[in-house]
Structure 1
């Protein structure tokens, strides 16, 4: 579904990602793991089109999208949720969702489906996004991405800095989406237990290079933790 092949990317003259390849399965989850500064977010930004790779290829469902702009990738079925629980803080929860839905075919239905996944947002529909808790802002950020009805969802640290009760809800939603079919997920996450439960495949980055990769599941946690302890 999404293939990142031998991508090098960075900022100005500084290369952060050095020839990384990641393959996201159709209707499944791939996880990119590593410490802060390992290049995980840079890799996602290159996949989303926010950075143009110095070399390498990004393919979406077989199409080379390496040089396409972010909105062109969205039109082809890609959605990106960056770090930081991003939203329009002065708009209400409902207005944030309508802003994405307006002009889209089936937009109203897509909003209803997203709210079914995050029912707490229904009760907060009239509250400004800037007044929501961090966990609910993250739910809103994911819901906004889902309103576009993507085929591939890129999630950058979706559980970072969020209260445990909401983390559990977000984890369950991501697992439900992956299991229901029709959506592939590329997940950058430091919560190893969740990432390895969700992911069919994982890649560990260190200083912008892949140091370990393998099949997800409980048996993967020990080698991943050992790799990250070095």
Structure 2
């Protein structure tokens, strides 16, 4: 679904990514692991077009989108959930969801499907988004992205600062969406066990370079931890 080849990107005079190669399988999950500052969030931003690459290509479902701005990539089926459980805090959880659903032909159905995936949002729908727990805000952010019915979902550390029970629920949701088909996921994550259980492919990023990659299963955990410890 997504192929990144020789990607070089950064900010100003600072180069953050140095020739990154990565692929996300169709209807599957690929995960990127690495320490803070490795370039993981920059990779997602470059994939979406929020940062213009200095070299390399980004291909979405066979189409070269390297030169397309972010809004045109979104129209082609990309959705991005940035780090930080972002929402409109002055609105209720349900109002946050309806902002995305309203105006879409399938908005009501997409909203109901998102609430089925995250039933806690039904209960908390009337609460201000700024009053939700961290886990509920993260579920809200993912649900908003899913209402757009993306073909490719970019998730930036969805488990950061969230209680283990909610982490398990988010993991189940990601795996369920992948099994249903029609959605690929590029997941940036620091929790190794979660990342490898959810993904078919993993990539370890260190100082803007892929230093290790392989099949994403629990048997790879020792190799990944070794790569991260270097």
TM-score range, shorter chain: over 0.9
**1:191 shift after superposition:** 0.7
**1:132 shift after superposition:** 0.3
SS in structure 2 opposite 1:140?
Answer: helix
Matched residue, 2:32: 32
How many pairs align? 230
Moved over 6 A (4+): none
Matched residue, 1:94: 94
Matched residue, 2:62: 62
CA RMSD of aligned residues (A): 0.7
CA deviations over 1:185-219 (Å, ceiling 9, x no partner): 00000111111111111110110001101111111
Give runs of aligned pairs for residues 45-84 of structure 1, distance below 5 A.
45-84=45-84
Matched residue, 1:136: 136
Q: Which runs of 5+ in 2 are unaligned?
A: none
Q: Is residue 152 from structure 1 mapped to residue 137 from structure 2 by the alignment?
A: no
Matched residue, 2:208: 208
Matched residue, 2:4: 4
In structure 2, distance between residues paired with 1:166 and 1:209: 31
In structure 2, distance between residues paired with 1:153 and 1:162: 20
Q: Is residue 177 from structure 1 mapped to residue 177 from structure 2 by the alignment?
A: yes
Matched residue, 1:104: 104
Q: Which runs of 5+ in 1 are unaligned?
A: none
SS in structure 1 opposite 2:169?
Answer: helix
In structure 2, distance between residues paired with 1:143 and 1:227: 33
In structure 2, distance between residues paired with 1:171 and 1:43: 21
